Amino acid sequence: MTRPLSRRTEIEAAIAAHNSADNETVLPPSAIRLLAVMFPRDDVCQRRLRELVAEGFDGRTLRHLLRALVDAGFLSTERRGGPVPNIYRLHLPPVRP
């Protein structure tokens, strides 16, 4: 029986496939790191942007990466207000908008 791929390996493979198939919207290597941080095991992430910034991401770059991942179909988001963080859902393979 074949062992399942690690989450990071799954993410790397999906990003590589996306980048080789769609040269107009190439995602940077930092997208792999961001998805691995946001989704170490589950397909749902409820973390605030400031928590992700604390993981070593630049705030402005982080917002651009999140938008690019949503546009590429890797993430969907449910915006929340107030003290409740946004909900992000990971899609592997990406869901084409």
As a whole number, mean pLDDT of residues 38-48 equals 92
As a whole number, mean pLDDT of residues 1-21 equals 84
**Domains in the chain: boundaries:** 7-90
- pTM for this one? 0.87
The answer, yes or no, to whether residue 27 has pLDDT greater than 80, is yes
The answer, yes or no, to whether residue 10 has pLDDT greater than 70, is yes
Q: How far is 80 from 91, CA to CA, in rounded Å?
A: 20
The answer, yes or no, to whether residue 79 has pLDDT greater than 80, is no
Where would I find the H helices in 1-97? 7-21, 29-38, 49-54, 59-71
Q: How far is 77 from 70, CA to CA, in rounded Å?
A: 8
* Residue count of the chain: 97
Question: If one looks up domain 7-90 in CATH, what number appears?
Answer: 1.10.10.10
How much is the pLDDT for 48? 87
Give residue-wise pLDDT tens across range 52-78.
999 999 999 999 999 999 999 999 998
Residues 6+ apart with CB under 8 A from 17: 93
